[in-house]
Amino acid sequence: MNIGGPAIHAVLLTAGLDGDKFSTILVTGRVGENEGDMSYLTAENAIEPVGISELQREPSIAKDAAAFYKLYRFLKNERPDIVHTHMAKAGAIGRLAARIAGVPVVVHTFHGHTFHSYFNPLKTGIFIFIERLLARITDKIIVISELQKREVKQYLRPGGNNKITLIPLGFKLDMFLENRRDGGAGRLRERFNIPKKAIIVGIIGRLAAIKNHTMFLSAAKEIKRKNKGKDIKFLIVGGGGEKDRLKAFSDRLGIGGDVIFTGWLKDMPALYSAVDIVALTSLNEGTPVSLIEALAGAKPVVAADAGGVRDVVEDGKSGFIVPSGDISAFSEAVSALINDEGKRKAFGLHGREFVRKMYSARRLIGDIERLYITEFRKHYAKRGNK
């Protein structure tokens, strides 16, 4: 339940599936030491997850083996009709345990674009090899963007034209869509001593190399230079192992006084209400949840052209998409929005209507329910059972 789209996604499905058709159990692993925890979502949705403490992000032969055995025994005892896995480690252990335990239908969702930029070439090659084998034992692979669909076909070659299906993410966006007058913006600015008239540029995500916060900070220096006399603050929201290095880097750039590291924040509606522009500089990305939430909150975005960004952002309509790693283009795009309040408002309102239609929770739940029923019926039709 580490902070991110997959945790939100899993809770939404567990709580939202039609109770007359589905009985659902959420199985979770352990949150890493430097990762934010979204376990509060299970309590808020009256879910009691089954926890397997050995299941964690970092590789460990002993713990991974223990996680596999515990999950296998759990599945043999519960005898589910369908197992749906999320994320790489849980997806590998979960699918393997499900197949050996004799689960009829195995489904996996790819949330991130992990085929490049995450690991070194050797580790990436091993990851792709393992995922290619796992694809063979998976009944249905769900992807969340067109780019991801092309990459899964290219790298995994899962076999069969119908094995991969595209189902975009969905979220409960009402808390962001509600256009409250303040929305907690005043409280957040007060908490971090940000003047009322200061322009806030925010970036939300794990403080990890793949998110490329170094580019964000380098661009921040350029933005300050291009907009002398303007009070601009840069909010870095999230936690992770890169925090100390990034703080030191901002100080070396001479912008430390304008960069605020907030850690993980629970009141996200207040955050999106307070910021003026939301940024994303990732080297690779699945479907960026922070941008969906920002647009739902009617805030414009500036994002590097990575992963599924183009599925969320309409370039020139709800934000700007710039070449990955291009600090100059990024700082120019942010500066253009800083100096045009009308465009910020127009981009935000356009983006709000787009995500309202594309990323609703109701649409996601309906798509997943139809997939489950179809795959369940296909399995038993093959065996001549009703």
Burial class (CB in 10 A: 0-12, 13-18, 19+), 381: exposed
Tell me what pLDDT residue 156 has.
Answer: 81
pLDDT at 254 over 80: yes
Separation of CA 9 from chain center: 9
pLDDT tens digits for range 303-328:
999 888 998 999 999 999 999 999 99
Q: Summarize the confidence of residues 35-46 as an average pLDDT.
A: 88
Lowest mean pLDDT of 16-30, 142-156, 208-222, 350-364, name the range: 142-156
Distance between first and last Cα of the chain: 37
Sign of CA dihedral 98, 104, 110, 111: negative
Percent residues over pLDDT 90 in the chain: 66
Look up the CATH number of domain 5-170+360-382. Answer: 3.40.50.2000
Any idea where the domains of the chain sit in the sequence? 5-170+360-382, 174-358
Q: What is the 3-state secondary structure (H, E, C) of 46-93?
A: CCCCEECCCCCCCCCHHHHHHHHHHHHHHHHHHCCCEEEEECHHHHHH
Question: Helices 341-358 and 289-296 sit at what angle, rounded to 10 degrees?
Answer: 110
pLDDT tens digits for range 117-137:
566 778 778 888 888 899 999
Among the four given CATH numbers 2.40.50.140, 3.40.50.620, 3.40.640.10, 3.40.50.2000, the one describing domain 174-358: 3.40.50.2000
The 3-state DSSP composition of the chain as helix, strand, coil percent (nearest 5) reads 50, 15, 35
Which residues 6+ apart lie within 8 Å of 174 measured at CB?
none
Q: Summarize the confidence of residues 375-381 as an average pLDDT.
A: 88
Count the neighbouring beta carbons within 10 Å of the beta carbon of residue 31. Answer: 17
**Separation between Cα atoms, residue 162 and residue 164, nearest integer Å:** 6
Parallel/antiparallel/unpaired status of strands 27-28 and 50-51: parallel
Percent residues over pLDDT 70 in the chain: 95
Three-state secondary structure call for residue 28: strand
Tell me what pLDDT residue 23 has.
Answer: 95
pLDDT at 386 over 70: no
The contacts found for 175-183 with CB under 8 angstroms, 24 or more apart, are: 175/268, 175/269, 176/268, 176/269, 176/272, 176/293, 176/296, 176/297, 177/296, 177/297, 177/352, 177/356, 178/269, 179/298, 180/269, 180/273, 182/273, 183/269, 183/270, 183/272, 183/273, 183/274, 183/297
Tell me what pLDDT residue 116 has.
Answer: 59
Q: What is the pTM of this model?
A: 0.78
pLDDT at 148 over 90: no
pLDDT tens digits for range 162-218:
899 999 889 888 888 875 555 678 889 999 999 999 999 999 999 999 999 999 999
No. of helices (H) and no. of strands (E), the chain: 16, 12
Contact 5, 293 (CB under 8 A): no
**Separation between Cα atoms, residue 320 and residue 201, nearest integer Å:** 14
Which residues 6+ apart lie within 8 Å of 208 measured at CB?
240, 241, 242
Tell me what pLDDT residue 329 has.
Answer: 98
**Separation between Cα atoms, residue 370 and residue 165, nearest integer Å:** 12
**Separation between Cα atoms, residue 304 and residue 291, nearest integer Å:** 12
pLDDT at 371 over 90: yes
Side-chain half-sphere of 274: how many Cα atoms within 13 Å?
28
